[in-house]
């Protein structure tokens, strides 16, 4: 059976305009898109899982075919549980490629029913990352061009000082 469900995983600490662009484009390609906040064991997150889910929900109220969840399990298992046929990832620069390639191969070994699909990040978001946003906001800088307007204040208040 062809799956019409895709998963967009990430640590989203916090969601940025780059992530939001991928969400909008992926939501057009699939009947159902699950945005899932997951654990990257290599990272120590600033926002709690609940906060990250809430921030994503706030800036995606215009999309009626997405759901936002948290999972602390393996991505391959989560895709199986949700019967998802695709994992969506955004590719920024060549530097992302090796790591993404390794994850895609590992996930397909763990769950042969899921394909990883890469969407190229928009040129203006090529340099963007959540850690950059956190660093700028925590030092009192302007991140309005990097995060959705609706959550801008919340991010600033949470990270400043």
In the residue annotation, 134 being an active-site residue is answered as no
Near ligand COA by CB under 6 A: residue from 75, 84, 86, 88? 75
Cβ closer to ligand COA: 22 or 33? 22
Which 3-state string (H, E, C) describes 14-75?
Answer: CCCHHHHHHHHHHHHHCCEEEEEEECCCCCCCCCCHHHHHHHHHHCCCCCCCEEEEEECCCH
User: For the window 14-53, what string marks contact with ligand COA as x by the rule CB under 6 A?
Assistant: --x-xx--x---------------xxx--x----------
Looking at the DSSP assignment, which residues form a beta bridge with residue 34? 7, 67
Near ligand COA by CB under 6 A: residue from 58, 92, 152, 158? 92
Q: How far is the CB of 12 from ligand COA (least distance, A)?
A: 6
What angle do the packed helices 149-159 and 130-138 form, to 10 degrees?
Answer: 60
**Element spanning 13, H or E:** none
Which residues of this chain interact with ligand COA, rule CB under 6 A? 9-11, 13, 16, 18-19, 22, 38-40, 43, 74-75, 90, 92, 103, 106-107, 121, 125, 128-131
């Amino acid at each position: 059976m062809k799956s019409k469900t895709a998963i967009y995983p990430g640590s989203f600490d916090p969601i940025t305009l780059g992530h939001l662009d991928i969400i909008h484009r992926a939501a057009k390609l699939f009947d159902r898109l699950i945005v899932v906040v997951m654990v990257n064991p290599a990272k120590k997150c600033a926002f709690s899982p609940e906060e990250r889910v809430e921030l994503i929900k706030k800036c995606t109220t215009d999309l009626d075919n997405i759901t936002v969840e948290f999972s602390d399990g393996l991505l391959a298992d989560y895709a199986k549980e949700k019967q998802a046929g695709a994992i969506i990832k955004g590719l920024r620069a060549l530097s992302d490629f090796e790591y993404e390639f390794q994850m895609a191969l590992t996930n397909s070994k763990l769950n042969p029913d899921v394909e990883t699909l890469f969407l190229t990040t928009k040129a203006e978001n090529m340099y963007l990352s959540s850690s950059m946003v956190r660093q700028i906001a925590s030092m009192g800088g302007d991140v309005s061009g990097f995060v959705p307007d609706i959550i801008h204040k919340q991010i600033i208040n949470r990270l400043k000082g």
